[in-house]
Amino acid sequence: MTAPPLVCCGLATLDVVQRVDRVPGADEKLVARGLDVTFGGPAANAAATAAALGVPAVLLTALGSGPIARLVRDGLVAAGVRVVDLAAGSPGDPPVSTVLVTASTGQRAVVSTNATLRPDDLGPAATRAADDVLAAAGAVLVDGHHLAAGVAVAAAARRRGIPVVADAGSWKPGLEHLLAQVDVAILSADLVVPAVALAREPGAAEDVLASVAALGPMFVARSAGAAPVRVRLPSGAYDEVAPPRLRPDEVVDTLGAGDVLHGAAGAALARGLDPLAALREGVAAATESVRHPGALGWAAHR
Domains and CATH numbers, the chain: 6-12+41-95+118-297 (3.40.1190.20)
Written as tens digits, the pLDDT of the chain (302 aa) is 688 999 999 999 998 888 888 988 888 888 888 888 899 999 999 999 999 999 999 999 999 999 999 999 999 999 999 999 999 988 888 989 888 988 888 787 888 887 777 777 899 999 999 989 999 999 999 999 999 999 999 999 999 999 999 999 888 889 999 999 999 999 998 887 876 455 444 444 558 898 899 899 999 999 988 899 999 999 999 999 999 999 988 988 887 899 999 999 999 999 999 999 999 999 999 999 999 988 888 888 77
Q: Give the relative orientation of helices 275-289 and 257-270 as an angle to the nearest 10 degrees.
A: 140
Specify whether the CB–CB gap between 144 and 116 falls below 8 A: no
In degrees and rounded to multiples of 5, residue 243 shows phi and psi of: -75, 155
* Ordered alpha helix ranges (H), the chain: 42-52, 67-78, 123-133, 147-159, 175-179, 205-213, 257-270, 275-289
Question: Across the strands, what pairs with 84?
Answer: 60
Q: Where are the beta strands (DSSP E) in the chain?
A: 6-9, 13-20, 34-40, 57-61, 81-85, 96-102, 108-111, 139-142, 164-168, 184-187, 219-224, 227-232, 238-241
d(CA 55, CA 201): 39
Residue 196's pLDDT is what? 47
Burial label, 33 (beta-carbon count in 10 A; 0-12, 13-18, 19+) = exposed
Nearest CA to 257 out of 286, 280, 229 is that of 286
Burial label, 224 (beta-carbon count in 10 A; 0-12, 13-18, 19+) = middle
Residue 248's pLDDT is what? 87
Give the other-Cβ count within 10 Å of 35's Cβ: 9
Instruction: State the Rg of the chain over Cα.
Output: 18
Give the other-Cβ count within 10 Å of 280's Cβ: 18
